[in-house]
Amino acid sequence: MRNEVQFEVFGDYALFTDPLTKIGGEKLSYSVPTYQAIKGILESIYWKPTIMYIIDELRVMKPIQMESKGVRPIEYGGGNTLANYTYLKDVHYQVRAHFVFNEHRPDLAFDRNEGKHYSILQRSLKAGGRRDIFLGTRECQGYVQPCEFGTGPGFYDTEERTQYLGTMVHGFNYPDETGKNELSIRLWPVEMNKGYIQFPKPEECTIVRSVREMEPKSFNSDNIESAEQLLRNLGGE
């Protein structure tokens, strides 16, 4: 597929928080990353408001295992609370995704240079990302590198039955991606087949809940660099 990117992401711990467990300060990770979490990792590798990432598929390479830890969250009003966080341990995933131009941002049409964005994305991926990679939360450092999706042995390769992982958060609908002055959240039932999870596109999610009204961010040629200028700054042609 044109504009496709394939990479692997890994780390010692991850915390893709199930929002239902935040009550009382406790946190429990989903068993796999959400669509929005992977999108956030890609945006840490390379992001411009001109493009939108579509996550196509995820492959779980290592067994899903969890570890609980007692932590002391920062309380700005004082206090010494002890909370219990349950993390994913020793995570490793392969990701296949691609980008498209954001048609809801006609003001950024000047920056729609497909080849340039693709080149910068690939260079940024090889460099390990333009920003720090976090696996769900800041204390879980992650690392990325290019790969060929589907290669190498995976823990669930020989699993015969489909695994149902329950209803999870898929992601958020932001105004600058939908054209609506509203923030909403998407949910979907997750199925994993031999370690592979195929994500529906955001518009294909049938469970959508409104959160609040929100105005889109303002971007134009005065406050962002074009892909050509950015590539020149990176030492490209």
**Which residues touch 81 (CB under 8 Å, ≥6 apart)?**
25, 72, 73, 75
Handedness of CA 236, 10, 135, 71 (dihedral sign): negative
Average pLDDT, 10 consecutive residues per value, the chain (237 residues): 90 93 82 96 93 96 94 72 90 97 85 91 94 94 97 94 93 84 92 96 90 76 62 63
Q: What is the pLDDT of residue 75?
A: 72
Handedness of CA 44, 46, 52, 58 (dihedral sign): negative
Q: What is the pLDDT of residue 70?
A: 86
Q: What is the pLDDT of residue 236?
A: 58
pTM above 0.75, yes or no: yes
Are 183 and 174 in contact, with CB atoms under 8 Å apart? Answer: yes
Are 102 and 176 in contact, with CB atoms under 8 Å apart? Answer: yes
**Which residues touch 106 (CB under 8 Å, ≥6 apart)?**
none
Q: Beta strands 207-213 and 196-198: pairing type? A: unpaired
158: left (phi over 0), alpha (psi -120 to 50) or beta: alpha
- Per the document, the length of the chain is 237
* HSE-CB for 71 with a 13 A CA cutoff: 15
For residue 54, the cross-strand partners are 98
Per-domain boundaries in the chain: 4-233
- Per-residue DSSP letters for 6-41? EEEEEEEEE--B-GGG-GGG-EEB-SS--HHHHHHH
CA-atom Rg of the chain in angstroms: 19
What letter does residue 193 receive in the DSSP assignment? B
Q: What is the pLDDT of residue 59?
A: 98
Handedness of CA 170, 175, 179, 185 (dihedral sign): positive
4-233 has CATH 3.30.70.2660 classification: yes
